[in-house]
A and B are shown apart, each in its own frame.
Chain A
Amino acid sequence: MAPKTVESIAEATILFAGDSGDGMQLTGSQFTLATAYAMNDLATLPDFPAEIRAPAGTTYGVSGFQLHFGSVNIQTPGDEVDLLVAMNPAALKVNLERVRKGGSVLVNTSAFEKRSLDLAGYEEDPLENDSLDGYQVIRVELTKLTREALKDSPLNQKEIDRSKNMFALGLALWLYSRPVDPAQRWISQKFAKKPAIMEANLHLLKKGYHYGETTEQFVSRFEVDPASLEPGRYRAIQGVHALALGLLAASVESGLPLFYGSYPITPASDLLHTLSRYKHFGVMTFQAEDEIAAVGSAIGAAFGGSLAVTGTSGPGVALKAEAIGLAHIMELPMVIVNMQRGGPSTGLPTKTEQSDLLQAMFGRNGDSSIPIVAPSTPGDCFEAAYEAARIAVTYMTPVILLSDGYLANGSAPWLIPDVSKLPPFPVQFAKESLSDEEFRPYVRNKETLARPWAKPGTKGLEHRIGGLEKQDGTGNVSYDAGNHETMTRLREEKTDRVARDLPPLEVYGKTEGDVLIIGWGSTRGSIEAATDRLLAAGRSVGAVHLRHVNPLPLDLKSICDRFTHLVVPELNNGQMVRILRDRFLLPFQSLTKIQGRPFPAGEIVSFVESMIDGHTDNG
């Protein structure tokens, strides 16, 4: 057998797809871990159905894990897939369109039998006709090979078949020259108490790896050099974990105990799971009876002087709206995390979207503008969470942290922050008073307009707050017409003043020119990837990304003024674009994608090119 050649590539996108029960999320995350050890830059997109165990073999039961990695700067989980690993016909059917022309498709041929083809809706076997022309098809009898490899194992047939993902993982690790020992260590730990399963998995992993060496189907394997990342210590992190750590860091730095009240909801539940493990940090987690109780408990904890947080997704925010308004009028600090998902209503629970922006801006009764912070990458969730907490306490206001499903579940290398360099987080509670004078809970700080945070238990500060309009200064109930207008304006002004604290915006690419791409939240990677391609093509393009969605940064207008065209790509039907048009009265163009997936950078590239070349309808 001829020795395999090694081909060096800069980047690749791989997609593992199979049944919900095929262990694709696990396979993907182990491949991610190996890729982190190979020191590549990476971005992941886990993509799974809302059903826990959809009927086997169906297209709606397909679960996928996409990973884009390379020696170059990786900003997105990949527009197009280089290698699709399809465990069954349904996985092939659902995902083939994502594979680039000329890309590879590794299929488990053992699964391509009549019943599975029928379930996937194939009238004829795609491996037998010309439907895969133009792709490199790698045929592997995964199930058969797995059974052969484990013929002496004490495991039963079902358990053996369920292990075939380890064979696939081993093969994929070989193909891209990834280290195999991180997965070996993980298996050994995970199944330490189930030696038969541990042995079977380790054996299959090795068999898969060796299969790559021996099969004639591969003439070469790939190698991806380490990425040139900023020096420091890294770990691969999912956005939801970074967000939890950011909240925890805010608690540690401020000295405020962290209270998290939440009700289970996809994709925010992992935040509850993660924080509930931090009991040794004194973190209090409360699984409430419903979304309203979750936010209510956080309001109670905020009144008591905790760093209060509630987390949910869009439908949950809808239920919490009245209580968020209460926190706004009572001017208590808290963070409301929204892990956005496809909506409206239950919508697409496991898919990502940015369609709760207007809900965050306006989804309450009355005039109630509250600060909104939106993280842009999985790692940025840490800083954004810290920042949201800091704003909440500094300005005595609820703050919405607008993350999304892609950020929550996606992973990326994360430069572990230096704790000693976190922004300072001072907290000042109102001090006990021995005077006979009534405490005035609505006297404001001249700079921030924040009212004092007076905790129950503090002598002499007994006071009442509530949902009825407050008299300026005293906080007494007031129905006075002029006072209501004053208070409404004060509350809005307080939110607006957050903008004074914001660092200057950084423009990616050209700082003036033909097109400015304005983004917010999780589309940052796609937008910057598109900008890179446009710049490489000689286009005069810049991009600006908004972490602070409300209030908008004060320097945004002047940056907009330096470009001829303005475009706002969003994963919704055009929400930020309305806010910007309303605010600046400039001809922002909308570019939208509403498919429950991250924005393909290529679409931004073509749109911007046609803008410059004058093909775009200015509507």
Chain B
Amino acid sequence: MADDKKPAGRKPTLPPGMKKPAGPAVAGSKLPPGSKRSPGSKLPPGKRPPGAKRPPGAPAGPGGDGATALTRADFSTDQDVRWCPGCGDYAILATVQRLMPEIDTPKENVVFISGIGCSSRFPYYMKTYGMHSIHGRAPTIATGLKASRPELDVWIVTGDGDGLSIGGNHLIHLMRRNVNVQLLLFNNQIYGLTKGQYSPTSETGKVTKSTPFGSIDHPFNPSALVLGADATFVGRTMDRDPKHMKIMLRAAHDHRGTGFLEIYQNCNIFNDGAFFEYTEKATKADRSVFVEHGKPLVFAGGSKGIRVNGFKLEEIDLEGGKWSADDCLIHDESSVELAGLIGRMFRSDSLPQPFGVFYRVSRPTYEDQLHAQIKDVVDRRGKGKLEELLNMGDTWEVSG
């Protein structure tokens, strides 16, 4: 549930005595819930002004101040990239490497943490700090790192098996804590590294090595899952649209809180074409809708739109004269209800698949609250002295 949807009478989110974390002003927080912005608004809720991620007093790094302009090459390691030729992961790697010189974090403050799986090899190819950990646990490691070192810029790279199956528990807890990291979920709807078993996002009926008669598992819808866990930023993009991907990566990065970004990624070996309906030229326009804050939900080159009818969404034809763009739903990233509707547009025959930022709200981050609480106690009690603590309570003297 979003901050602003708390039932009346409940205590404030912050523990008693705690100050609101010192963070950059959040433009979105001033807007009333569900308010609409003018189309083209540059600063949606939760979005920080450039430069906000660097803590005050942090040294300017070569990545940030333009002193030495870094390029994509500065973020590529000398390791051979070992993904299969044609894998969607290459496009994601290239886009992330292209984005890096543009973000204002000093290079040495960037850390990529992954679990196990094809996607989780990612850190080896990024010339930043990185850790390729164990299956499903990257969010836990990222939480410990970010909680103890809030100035670091921590990225989690995970996949549908790693993040939603073995690591599902950690993923939801990361969302509710709102640790200020980015989580990139490379969703290819298959287990690739173990050579082709169905994953928790595989469609029912899927025939794989472990389901020769078809999978009977109902798949997760990742957006709905993390919305249920009170994620503060939920977005989706695709490997075949690097331009959109880069905008989404940047948005997830700039969000102060957990930036959850699902990336549809083609596994050309074990699950080729899983998303072609949404990503390939012939069908993309008709089957995908790119949502933007303050703009109507239109697609198919402006010829179709989405409107709300009762509690349901429905596709409308904008060229038949009956409907116009004015009838379309206007996207509002700060509305949890709307996020629920858009997040639930999922593999529907009658609606296109949504891409973009579905939800973005501001909520205090875990590490800000942790350190605010420590600061508050230090301010009230003074910095602890070990000798005093050891001698506290009932003591007695034995003389020689």
Contacts and interface: CB of A to CB of B under 8 A. Distances in A.
| Range for the number of chain B residues in contact with chain A | 35 or more
The 4 closest A-B pairs by CB, nearest first: A296-B140, A300-B144, A466-B132, A297-B144
Nearest to A465: B131
A205 interface: no
Contact of A279 (B149, B378, B399): B378
B280 interface: no
A233 B140 contact: no
A153 B243 CA distance: 78
A541 interface: no
A37 interface: yes
Identify the interface centre among A33, A284, A300, A304: most chain B CB within 10 Å of its CB: A300
Interface in B123-137: 123-124, 126-134, 137
Interface in B290-333: none
Interface residues of A, number: 72
Interface in A251-303: 252, 257, 259, 261, 278-284, 286, 288-290, 292-303
Interface in B102-120: 106-109, 111, 113, 116
A259 B169 CA distance: 22
Interface in B332-381: 370, 373-374, 377-378, 381
Interface string A213-238: 00000000000001001111111100
Contacts of A261: 144
Contacts of B78: 438
B395 interface: yes
Interface stretch (A70-78, A452-460, A482-490): A452-460
Contacts of B377: 279-280
Interface string B46-73: 0000000000000001000000000000
Given A303-B141, A457-B152, A462 B169 contact: no
Contacts of A281: 383-384, 386, 389
B130 A464 contact: yes
Interface stretch (A2-10, A124-132, A322-330, A563-571): A322-330
Contact of A284 (B128, B374, B389): B374
Contacts, number: 201
Given A292-B137, A293-B173, A456-B149, A468 B144 contact: no
10 contacts: A226-B398, A233-B391, A233-B396, A235-B393, A259-B147, A280-B377, A303-B145, A305-B148, A419-B386, A461-B108
A286 B384 CA distance: 19
Q: Main secondary structure on chain A at its contact with chain B? A: mixed
Contact of A297 (B147, B169, B398): B147
A106 B146 CA distance: 57
Contacts of A278: 384, 389
B142 interface: yes
A46 B102 CA distance: 61
Interface string A536-560: 0000000000000000000000000
Given A231-B399, A300-B140, A252 B386 contact: yes
Contacts of A280: 377-378, 381-384
A563 to B, nearest CB: 35
Contact of B169 (A289, A300, A419, A468): A289
Interface of B: 61, 77-79, 106-109, 111, 113, 116, 123-124, 126-134, 137, 139-149, 151-152, 169-170, 173, 370, 373-374, 377-378, 381-384, 386-387, 389-391, 393-400
Given A36-B396, A419-B390, 4 more contacts: A286-B147, A296-B139, A326-B133, A461-B108
A462 B123 CA distance: 11
A257 B398 contact: no
A26 to B, nearest CB: 15
A245 B390 contact: yes
A598 B96 CA distance: 58
Nearest to A230: B398
A455 B77 CA distance: 19
B400 A231 contact: yes
A357 interface: no
B394 A303 contact: no
A301 B144 contact: yes
A438 B390 CA distance: 45
A39 interface: yes
Contacts of A305: 148-149
Identify the interface centre among B133, B151, B393: most chain A CB within 10 Å of its CB: B133
B287 to A, nearest CB: 37
A49 to B, nearest CB: 28
Contacts of B151: 457
A308 interface: yes
Nearest to B136: A292
B268 to A, nearest CB: 23
A248 interface: yes
A286 B131 CA distance: 21
Contact of B132 (A279, A294, A455, A467): A467
B123 A466 contact: yes
Given A248-B386, A456-B149, A293 B143 contact: yes
A293 B149 contact: no
B92 to A, nearest CB: 17
A416 interface: yes
Identify the interface centre among A280, A298, A417, A477: most chain B CB within 10 Å of its CB: A280
Contact of B144 (A226, A299, A416, A465): A299
